[in-house]
Amino acid sequence: MAKSSEEIVMENLKTIEEWALQGMTQKEMAECLGIGDSTFRKLKKQNVALLAVLKKSANTRKNMLEQQVKEVEHSLFERAKGYDEEKSYFFKVKRKGTDEEGNKYEVEEVIEKKAIEHIPADISAAKFFLTNMAKKVWQDNPHKVENDKENLKIRKKEMEGKEW
């Protein structure tokens, strides 16, 4: 006997949650489950568990995206102003010597040296950051909107003069 749409949804709540976290639309979820979009929407209204899973996933996804945006903004800011970074360099060193009995020996070992390297400011990143975060001050043409409005008024007047 075929399963009802509600049974299919209830059996796949965990999968639906994963899909929602990945950003799948409800229409795509319905397709993957083999049920109609309208049926899925109807079940969402009737089924508290499904609604809760979708809301929880939406909130989690929203929070994740906000956190990712903050991290990218921070990285862009760091790149724009320059930063210091610790780097590791590895060297192969040979040591020669003699032991207590007078036998010669040679030992190879790898030594790690750490150094702080300065990554200089990136002008492109700085410009991008400033034009997006301080638009009023750093936009390419701060009077562009006013100029475009004036040009539009002039063109309208020209068009009115050319009418029959």
Mean pLDDT lowest for which of 21-30, 48-57, 88-97, 133-142? 133-142
pLDDT for position 56 = 95
Residues 97-141 pLDDT 10s: 888 888 999 999 999 999 999 999 999 999 888 888 887 777 777
Query: Looking at the predicted structure, is the pLDDT value of residue 160 above 90?
Result: no
Q: How far is Cα 4 from Cα 121, in angstroms, rounded to an integer? A: 60
Q: What is the mean pLDDT of residues 134-154?
A: 79
Query: Looking at the predicted structure, is the pLDDT value of residue 81 above 60?
Result: yes
pLDDT for position 142 = 67
pLDDT for position 163 = 65
pLDDT for position 109 = 93
Tell me if 90 sits within 8 A of 112, measured CB to CB: yes
Query: Looking at the predicted structure, is the pLDDT value of residue 2 above 90?
Result: no
- Residue ranges of the domains in the chain? 5-79, 83-119, 123-162
Tell me if 143 sits within 8 A of 104, measured CB to CB: no
Residues 36-75 pLDDT 10s: 999 999 999 999 999 999 999 999 999 999 999 999 999 9
Q: What is the mean pLDDT of residues 86-103?
A: 92
pLDDT for position 65 = 93
Q: How far is Cα 51 from Cα 57, in angstroms, rounded to an integer? A: 10
- 3-class DSSP assignment, residue 146: helix
pLDDT for position 3 = 83
Task: Read off the DSSP letter of residue 143.
Answer: T
